Amino acid sequence: MHEHSPLLATALEAARQAADISRRYFRSNVEVRTKEDRTPVTQADVECEQAIRRIIQDAYPEHGFYGEETGQTQADADYLWLVDPIDGTKAFVREYPFFSTQIALMHQGELVLGVSSGTLFDELAWAEKGRGAWLNGKALSVSEIDEPDRAAVSTGNVSSLAQSAGWQALGGILAAADRTRGYGDFYHYHLLAAGKIEAVIESDVNILDIAALAVIVREAGGVFTDLNGNPPGLTTRSVLAANPPLHRQYLEKLRGHVD
């Protein structure tokens, strides 16, 4: 395992402190409020983001910060931290473990660092540009399976895809696959980066959900784009992530069918 850079060490410490907070609140009958976009938020979300923001801004006060709960500051900074303190709040409040903390760093528009903490799974994944991807200290690598009928494909948040021409294309991909599941949220990206499944297809996401995971999948040798093949950015709303040969095949089927 390579030595952590100061940037990565800061992100990992922030993720660990957030994990301590979310564990303390989990299954504690926490109060749930509904935001203007009709998504839930809890005190755990707020406190996790406050802790992450404090750690990052103490270390790098000149950097921008874009958090799920507190919005964006210093938008013109060269470095921008992208943070979802509890990605999967609906899972958190319904007391099942598919939630995580997501921390990513963007430099001049390029995602260069990601930390994904699957708190109740005891899975801490991280990656930096050019330095590989790691899960609990073990190097990650996507699989080499290149035949659709041998592939395991996981889907998530497909409601908008179901209302588009891409639904039929997705159906063809799933019908040809060896195994289809909807592992969801952070978890199927960890599986993809570890070579345990071959592809993840999602719609209805935002960049805070997937920024860190994009770096992890990429550094594990995978390809991470939206469903039209565009690299992830602040306006990304969908995902096609896979090992290189299957990404090429699936993109041919999906491109142009999804906004």
pLDDT of residue 235: 95
pLDDT of residue 182: 95
Query: Comparing 6-139 with 148-254, is the CATH topology the same?
Result: no
For the chain, the structural domain boundaries read: 6-139, 148-254
Name the fold adopted by 6-139: Fructose-1,6-Bisphosphatase; Chain A, domain 1 (3.30.540)
Give strand pairing partners of 101: 117
Per-residue pLDDT tens digits for 146-195: 999 999 999 999 888 899 888 999 999 999 999 999 998 999 999 999 99
pTM over 0.85: yes
Q: Phi/psi class of residue 82: alpha, beta or left (left: φ > 0; alpha: ψ in -120 to 50)?
A: beta
Per-residue pLDDT tens digits for 193-241: 999 999 999 999 999 999 999 999 999 999 999 999 999 999 999 999 9
pLDDT of residue 1: 54
Q: In sequence order, what DSSP letters do the residues of 75-93 get, joined into one string?
A: TTSSEEEEEEEEETHHHHH
Q: Phi/psi class of residue 154: alpha, beta or left (left: φ > 0; alpha: ψ in -120 to 50)?
A: beta
Q: Which CATH class is domain 148-254?
A: alpha beta
- Nearest 5°: the CA angle 129, 134, 139 is 105
- Which of 177, 15, 160, 165 has the alpha carbon at shortest distance from 85? 15
CA 188 to CA 181: how far, in whole Å? 9
Per-residue pLDDT tens digits for 17-73: 999 999 998 887 677 788 777 787 888 899 999 999 999 999 999 999 999 988 888
Q: Is the pLDDT of residue 259 over 70?
A: no
